[in-house]
């Protein structure tokens, strides 16, 4: 073979490869892009928005182009009997130079649309749900009124921590009422929303417990459900907002004094102090063992207050101490004897802080 032919062949191959690389490739379909849309007969759902869209194919469903803020929008109008999954092919790009022409810089897009049925509640179902929730509200209000007598009883508050026992008592009584009088409102509510006349939801301890938890939560919780579902308008929350703002400026403390003799007692002292640059106290971390369950359920006679916390203004600083009544000796929060309550170390509490001081004292010792 002549040498000139051998030299020209690589050049020809190189030229052909260069031309193929520069040749524009056909637009390939992107995707498929999976979309999940809510389907309800006659409802319009936007599938795609772009400056310019040209619909290529829709698999037997009603898809149309409408004007949108961004240019055009591809909209699916669901109908009864439409498939739950279908493909839509389209081309998107920039606005064409002439009306009716193809989009410039067009790219093919394939949408794989998956529909699901949206809940469609009838007026009858909503009416039944309203009646059930009103009955729940009335039942919660009656139980609250009945047990206010017990929860406000001084003897009850003296021997147990009312806020801890209230949850246990209200749930137990609510569950007893629900089971005794067959007031499974949760199962009945499910049936109302499902739109069936005969009982389809099986009554069980689970649905009874859920009903008891809602009823035991009180009328405020049930009212919140009624407001959330739109059955009642929202009541003015000015007083509630003021209470929340006030609580954000408060800190809560408690003092537990260990080492108190049988015939002794301690006075809790609180003295305002200049803040200067004191650090914010958020809480106290300790490894001392405590009977947490007992402390939560029963008052502690060696603690101030006996349950809960004492509120302080978080904008102020305080010197905290205790004074032995029969000797007059004062101790700071570390249990160290001090000359007077004014000599205690100052504290500055962060808003919302909960600080529990555990003070171990040795009665009769002095500074």
pLDDT of 318 reads: 93
DSSP secondary structure letter of residue 279? P
> Domains of the chain, with CATH numbers?
30-117 (2.60.40), 123-228 (no CATH), 249-360 (no CATH)
Instruction: Select, from the ranges 152-161, 206-215, 235-244, the one with the highest average predicted confidence (pLDDT).
Output: 206-215
- What pLDDT sits at residue 38? 65
pLDDT tens readout for residues 160-213: 776 778 888 888 988 898 888 888 887 777 777 665 544 455 677 888 888 888
45 pLDDT more than 50:
yes
SS3 274: coil
Q: Considering only 232-236, 242-246, 328-332, which range has the smallest mean pLDDT?
A: 232-236
3-class state of residue 54 by DSSP: strand
* 171 Cβ neighbours under 8 A, 6+ residues apart: 212, 213, 216
- Please tell me the predicted confidence (pLDDT) of residue 69: 77
Say which residue, 351 or 10, is predicted with more confidence: 351
Give the confidence band of 291 by pLDDT, cuts at 50, 70, 90.
low
Per-residue confidence (pLDDT) for residue 40, from 0 to 100:
64
In the chain, the percentage of residues whose pLDDT exceeds 70 is: 69
Least confident stretch, 32-46, 222-236, 295-309, 310-324: 222-236
pLDDT greater than 60 at residue 19: no
CA 25-31-36 angle, to 5 degrees, is 155
Q: The tokens of 168 are what?
A: 């246990």
Q: DSSP characters for 65-113?
A: EEEETTEEEEEEE--TT--SEEEEEEEEEEPPSSTTSPPEEEEEEEEEE
The DSSP 8-state label assigned to residue 183 in this structure reads -
The pLDDT value recorded for residue 347 is 92
Judged by average pLDDT, the poorest of 146-150, 278-282, 306-310 is: 306-310
Nearest partner of 300 among 244, 225, 356, 217, judged by Cα: 356
- Say which residue, 77 or 224, is predicted with more confidence: 77
pLDDT of res. 234: 52
User: Mean pLDDT throughout 133-154?
Assistant: 84
Q: Could you tell me which residues come within 8 angstroms of residue 129 by beta carbon, excluding any fewer than 6 positions away?
A: 189, 192, 193, 229
Of the candidates 132, 166, 128, 160, the one whose C-alpha atom is nearest the C-alpha of residue 146 is: 166
Whether the pLDDT of residue 3 is over 50: the answer is: no
Q: Where are the alpha helices (DSSP H) in the chain?
A: 3-22, 123-151, 154-159, 162-180, 185-194, 205-216, 219-228, 238-248, 292-297
Return the C-alpha torsion angle 159, 162, 163, 169, nearest 10.
110
List of residues 6+ apart from 331 with CB closer than 8 A: 321, 322, 323, 324, 337, 338, 359, 361
Mean pLDDT on 36-46? 71
pLDDT of 124 > 80? The answer is no
Report how far residue 84's alpha carbon sits from residue 111's, in angstroms, rounded to the nearest whole number: 13
């Amino acid at each position: 073979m002549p040498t000139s032919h051998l030299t020209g062949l690589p050049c020809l191959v190189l030229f052909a490869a260069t031309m193929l690389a520069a040749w524009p490739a056909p637009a390939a379909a992107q995707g498929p892009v999976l979309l999940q849309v809510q389907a309800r007969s006659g409802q319009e759902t936007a599938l795609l928005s772009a400056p310019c869209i040209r619909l290529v194919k829709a698999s037997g469903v009603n898809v149309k182009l409408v004007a949108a803020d961004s240019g055009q929008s591809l909209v699916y109008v669901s109908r009864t009997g439409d498939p739950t999954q279908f493909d839509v092919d389209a081309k998107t790009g920039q606005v064409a130079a002439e009306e009716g022409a193809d989009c410039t810089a067009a790219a093919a897009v394939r949408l794989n649309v998956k529909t699901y049925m949206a809940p469609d509640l009838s007026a009858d179902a909503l009416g039944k749900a309203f009646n059930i929730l009103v009955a729940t509200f009335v039942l919660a209000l009656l139980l609250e009124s009945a047990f206010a007598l017990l929860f406000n009883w001084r003897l009850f508050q003296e021997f147990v921590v009312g806020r801890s026992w209230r949850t246990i008592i209200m749930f137990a009584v609510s569950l007893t009422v629900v089971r005794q009088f067959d007031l499974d409102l949760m199962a009945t509510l499910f049936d109302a929303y499902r739109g069936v006349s005969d009982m389809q939801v099986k009554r069980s301890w689970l649905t009874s417990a859920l009903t008891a938890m809602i009823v035991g939560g009180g009328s405020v919780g049930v009212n919140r459900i009624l407001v959330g579902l739109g059955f009642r308008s929202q009541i003015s929350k000015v007083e509630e907002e003021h209470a929340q703002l006030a609580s954000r400026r408060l800190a809560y403390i408690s003092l537990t004094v260990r080492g108190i003799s049988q015939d002794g007692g301690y006075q809790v002292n609180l003295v305002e102090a200049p803040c200067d640059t004191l650090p914010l106290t958020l809480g106290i971390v300790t490894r001392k063992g405590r009977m947490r369950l007992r402390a939560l359920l029963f008052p502690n006679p060696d603690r101030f207050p006996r349950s809960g916390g004492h509120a302080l203004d978080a904008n102020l600083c305080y010197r905290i101490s205790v004074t032995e009544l029969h000797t007059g000796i004062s101790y700071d929060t570390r249990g160290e004897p001090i000359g007077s309550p004014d000599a205690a170390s100052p504290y500055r509490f962060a808003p919302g802080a909960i600080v529990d001081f555990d003070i171990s004292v040795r009665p009769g010792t002095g500074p």
